[in-house]
Chains A and B, each alone.
Chain A
Amino acid sequence: MLLRMIMRATLHHRLRFSLAVLGLGVSVAMLLYLLAFGDGARNFLRRNLSAFSPQILILPKEYVSSQPLLPRGLADTLREMKVGKVFSILRLPYMGGFPPKAMGVVMGRDFSSSMRFITDYEILRGRDIGDSTRREALVGRGLAKVLGLKVGDSLTVATGRYVVVGIMGGEAELIDNTVIVPLNLLMRDLGTDRVLAIAVSPPPERLNEALDSLKAVLPNYTVQTSRWLADLANSMVAFGDALRLSLSLVSLFVSAVLLFAVMSITVQERRWEFALLRALGATRRFLLASVVGQSALVSLAGWLLGSIVGLLLVAVSDRMIRSRFGLDLLDVSPSSFALSFALAMMIGVLGGLLPAMALLRSNIREGLGG
């Protein structure tokens, strides 16, 4: 009976409660959508970082630039130190032309080292690039699909043209969106003798020792493990999460105020009903349950609406990003669902509880207009 009363009383004021449901739904959808970017970014990093070989990275001091700033000769110096395998890294964004058609990266492959920066790619069609003298490119399958490239086609990177000799793929979608060309030629195309970073891969058991000795001899550079870089990326994602969550919470707060206003007006209008129920023998608990139940029902409906809209938005955006850039950047995790549900229900309970408390303090006879 209580549930029937709550349902019928809610349907009796359809427009008012529909607006409250809509407001809450928009906030929940926004929360899920924004959190999906955070979850997606975290999962993206987890999937992709595993594709890179563990190593020590040497970067410019106070590393903030995406420009190549390290002299390539430094790599030769480090090789002479015999701390491990050494190779230079040069990476730049690759959009497939203008206007941008894709979202990928170009990597220069350092043929002076036997080690590869990306460890787990496999050749799906054609072959690997041969050496540092030929203008050959290996293209990830995602980019190849988006740009319509196949073996034998040519593509332009910076100012140079390369022939696609192979299509590669791997577990990580970053590989699917990467173009690999010889490092020497890429540097020549860019008109630079500098690289972005230098990686050193010591034997695993000598990692800490190598790290300490490199830090000692390179005081003017940032010397860190690739794990540090992963942690840095994760902390940036976490910072983004905090920003997105704050934005969502502001939106949810506005919805909570809306729901509180709707419930306050409703309780005020229905004061005689509650006074009547009290006169007929309803306990305080019954009245509390009927007001909070109504508010919680509205919140539940808002959460359901928001979840559906949020999932649809994520699905549509995910499809667009995948088809356009071949990247899997959006994920809705169970914890995001749980968080949105908990917040929506908390709003529902509080939105009903406060007007209900005021109601319980009111006089029955006044409520009945006596």
Chain B
Amino acid sequence: MRLVAENLVKVYGDRVRTVALNGFGYTFHPGRCYAVVGPSGSGKSTLLYLLAGVETPTSGRVLLGDTVLSSLSDDERARLRALHFGFVFQRFYLLPYLNAADNLNVGLYLKTGRTDARRAAELLRTLGIEDPYRLPHEYSGGEQQRIAIARALMKDPAILLADEPTGNLDSANSRQIFRILKDVARAGRTVIVATHDADMAATCDVILRLRDGRLSGDHGL
């Protein structure tokens, strides 16, 4: 499913206006891993939130297939995210009172209204988590991020968005996470990763450089 950003502008604040994105346009294709790089405040995270419909642009639009995200209501965009988007965050954001398998099932439940404990356990094992029934704090940071990726993959999303997924990890774990994200893209999904890590970004198919809310260049295919 094609994801298109058309001339996206996002301005925060009324009195003191902060321009987070200033005319970003790009078309994201399935089967590729995109790294969005740039200094702090360049608009990387804002771009991800706009692409997923978590926020609406001040001007411009985002199209998922033929659907214009900003034309949908809050709940319709939430439903769209449940169906097509997976999210991975820097701080993992695993629900602390659910075990790893249940954390995976949250995403699936929001999409389908069902859970699948066996598939959750299998997916976790695929990503190197052998015991799927422990609480999040009982896993290491690298394991927690792999659980977070598994949660995103559990519902088989067309698009996976990752906001600084290796920001809290050491280099060995970071490499492993990027390897997984590349594999996800190879499986036909669109993977968009916002990252500070130039080395990791270099492993992606396309690098999009943001500066002052604009695309200052792309490198890749």
Q: Which positions in A face B, CB cutoff 8 Å?
A: 1-2, 4-5, 8-9, 11-12, 272-273, 276-286, 364-365, 368-370
Contact = CB atoms under 8 A, between A and B. Distances in A.
5 smallest beta-carbon distances between A and B, as pairs: A281-B82, A12-B97, A8-B97, A1-B109, A281-B81
A154 B162 CA distance: 94
Contact of A281 (B78, B98, B105, B115): B78
Interface string B51-82: 01011000000000000000000110011111
A182 to B, nearest CB: 77
Interface of B: 45, 49, 52, 54-55, 74-75, 78-83, 85, 87, 89, 91, 93, 95-98, 102, 105-107, 109-111, 115, 163
A280 B82 contact: yes
A280 B97 contact: no
A281 B54 contact: no
Q: Which of A273, A280, A282 neighbours the largest number of chain B CB atoms within 10 Å of its CB?
A: A280
B102 A284 contact: no
A283 B87 contact: no
A284 B54 CA distance: 13
Contacts of B55: 364-365
Contacts of A280: 81-82, 87, 106-107, 110
Contacts of B87: 279-280
Given A11-B97, A368-B89, A368-B93, A279 B54 contact: yes
A8 B85 CA distance: 26
B75 A370 contact: no
Nearest to A272: B93
Contacts of B82: 280-282
A340 to B, nearest CB: 30
Contacts of B110: 277, 280-282, 286
B54 A364 contact: yes
A272 B96 CA distance: 11
B71 to A, nearest CB: 18
Given A278-B54, A280-B106, 14 more contacts: A1-B106, A11-B97, A273-B93, A273-B95, A277-B106, A278-B78, A280-B107, A280-B110, A281-B82, A281-B85, A282-B78, A284-B75, A368-B93, A369-B91
A279 B96 contact: no
Nearest to A287: B78
A280 B102 CA distance: 14
A370 B45 contact: yes
Contacts of B52: 279
B208 to A, nearest CB: 19
A7 B80 CA distance: 27
Contact of A8 (B78, B98, B105, B111): B98
Contacts of A11: 97
12 contacts: A1-B105, A4-B102, A8-B98, A273-B93, A276-B95, A277-B110, A279-B87, A280-B82, A280-B87, A280-B106, A365-B54, A370-B163
Contact of A276 (B74, B93, B111): B93
A8 to B, nearest CB: 4
B132 to A, nearest CB: 15
Nearest to B83: A281
A9 B91 contact: no
Given A9-B97, A365-B55, A368-B93, A281 B74 contact: no
Contacts of A369: 91
Q: Which one of B45, B55, B78, B98 has the greatest number of beta carbons of chain A within 10 Å? A: B78
B96 A12 contact: yes
A365 B96 contact: no
A278 B79 CA distance: 9
A279 B97 contact: no
Contacts of B45: 365, 370
A365 B56 CA distance: 12
